[in-house]
Structure 1
Amino acid sequence: MSQSTSPWYSRPDLLIQNGIKILFKRYRALKPLGKAFIWATIVFYIALTTFFIVVTPARIFQWLYDLAHNLSKLPFGWVALGGIILVASCPPFIGHTTAVTLCGFAYGMKGFPLAAACSSLGSALVFVSCRLLFSKRLRRWSSANTKWQALESVIRAKGLPLIILVRMCPFPPWMWSNVLFSSIEAVALWQFVVATMFIYPKLLLHVFIGSRAAALADGEQRSHMDTQTKIMNAAFITVGILVGICSGWFVYQAMQKHIREMGDIPDETERLAADALEDVEEGAPLLRSFSPTPETNTADSQRGNNPYTL
């Protein structure tokens, strides 16, 4: 395979450079409304970070613990927590990981069935809703995008194993991943549901981190802990986070390698399919109205002039 198509996933610096170039190019192609949305999102996260610093992490985690504790005492508190997970599965809402971690805060390891069931249900609802509401738009968009057509061809050829690998990959984030799969016609609902089950270990890890963090978040419990217990809890949390990061990066590398080394698929198709996943824009097929060019052809996509090119 040529130098231009050699795997880049072992070079994080190339990933960052590629991401910055893609984001800047697509930002310039946006309408004023789209740019306003981007800046509103940036301001939101700046405000959120400022709030986190001013209020202090200790008080925020204490509030989270109190919220989770109160929910666990309510007869139907699990319904409220499950509802948060369902909503967080729908773009553009965020907080799915936090909601899953709250299951550990509130119920310990017993919160895992709630997190798994609601995550599966929420993702399936997003998948079906996007297919029903945006099927014509997605079909028109994918027909004009060479990379997306290549991705669909690769997934159609490899089937469930590749779908599982892509689903386990940490990129894109949870809610946009649900949209991503609904945008790929080659993926059936049953395949999507089965692939979602393979992220249960990741959900279990988040619940475990929440169960360990709950004791440290509560000031009263923390005051009765000896130093050794605090260190052990902090170590469990740190190891859990590191395991999650390392496993996510490993799966991402494995997915890219699997796509690029498919012997029964043309090299160009492999490259375009891998590029589609590398360059995937959050919700791009469903947010076309933000761009000044309503329709583009395949040739534009190949030349790189299509603002929706994945």
Structure 2
Amino acid sequence: MFLPSVRSPITQLKRVSNAITARYSKLSFYGKALIWFLALFYVCLVAAIVVITPSRIAQALYDAAQSLRRQKFGWLVLGAILVVVCFPPFIGYSTVVNLCGFTYGLKGFFIAGLATLIGSALVFTTLRLLFSRRVQRWTSTSEKWQALETVIRAKGLPLIILIRISSFPPWVYANALFAGINSVSLLQFLVATVFVLPRIFLFVFIGSRVAKFSDGEQRHRMDTQTKVVNGLAIAGGILLTIIASSLVYYLMQKQIRQLHQSALERDELAAEALEASEEAPLLQSGTP
């Protein structure tokens, strides 16, 4: 009973690894050069952090966050940034949500939650209105996308919620994914997005705990027990996020593959379409 559940993540990991290797091999010279440039950039970034020291960097970030908090419309700036990063191809959604907690503590949840709902609705409406013809042209030639639409139409809101609260596909890909599926209405999309709020609270909570360690004055005032409790709270929040995301992703894939009304081949195509969400029609290059 336990062995299949152990093999499933390992099999999934192998599939992802093989897919990444295959995609890398298909890249042009410039594409591969970009990958290596990014790898070098992150190595240099880590080296800079070690040289400058994490405590100095953390203190500088904390001071900047407090300066933003003292601004009358600082919350609006963070909210606007969060709305923008909901649009593809921007990245950094989770980081900005953490920053809401880092800057405003647990009150940052209200900023992050409201901005997430507004940003998601804007992305869905904008992409659906501007690229509807392009989506129809693309989906008419994609068996995977047609299979995914069929499965989502059959499963309805429960599957939409599972996909939405899963950490995979990534946030911007998920926004474009649902905007490109005609069987998903704006109301269903917003209801599913509401279920993301507990995960947002976790990110905000982690950010608020990290802020306490980032400020040297607060850190020095903490006794050993308080530091341990705060450290465990951060680690526990991260661990809970990983476990919940993995569980939701597993349930999501299980729901897709257990649709009795459809053939096994179509279920597999739907799962593959979801895993290749960066190939969604609204993220492809070309004119609308």
What's 1:89 paired with?
86
Does the 8 Å contact 1:163/1:192 carry over to 2? yes
What's 1:14 paired with?
11
What's 2:155 paired with?
158
What is the total number of aligned residue pairs between the two structures? 284
The code of the aligned residue for 1:182 comes to A
What's 2:245 paired with?
248
What's 2:175 paired with?
178
Seen in structure 2, the aligned counterparts of structure 1 residues 185 and 28 have a Cα distance that, compared at 3 Å, is farther
The 1-side partners of 2:111 and 2:243 are apart by 25
Give the Å deviation of 1:287. 4.7
Give the TM-score normalised by structure 2.
0.89
Give the Å deviation of 1:198. 0.3
Seen in structure 2, the aligned counterparts of structure 1 residues 111 and 212 have a Cα distance that, compared at 3 Å, is same
Does the 8 Å contact 1:72/1:107 carry over to 2? yes
What's 1:117 paired with?
114
Name structure 1 gaps, 5 residues minimum. Answer: 1-6, 295-310
Give the TM-score normalised by structure 1.
0.83
Does the 8 Å contact 1:101/1:209 carry over to 2? yes
What's 2:62 paired with?
65
Give the Å deviation of 1:44. 4.7
Q: Which of 161-170 and 65-74 deviates more?
A: 65-74
Aligned-partner SS, 2:278: coil
Q: Comparing both structures, which one devotes a greater share of its residues to helix? A: 2
Q: Which of 11-20 and 43-52 deviates more?
A: 43-52
The 1-side partners of 2:5 and 2:20 are apart by 18
Seen in structure 2, the aligned counterparts of structure 1 residues 164 and 28 have a Cα distance that, compared at 3 Å, is same
Does the 8 Å contact 2:174/2:277 carry over to 1? no
Instruction: Indicate whether 1:274 and 2:274 are aligned.
Output: no
Instruction: Indicate whether 1:206 and 2:203 are aligned.
Output: yes
Does the 8 Å contact 1:78/1:114 carry over to 2? yes
Q: Which of 80-89 and 12-21 deviates more?
A: 12-21
Name structure 2 gaps, 5 residues minimum. Answer: none
Instruction: Indicate whether 1:229 and 2:226 are aligned.
Output: yes
Question: Matched residues, percent identical?
Answer: 51
The code of the aligned residue for 2:64 comes to L
CA root-mean-square deviation: 2.4
Give the Å deviation of 1:281. 4.2
Give the Å deviation of 1:264. 2.5
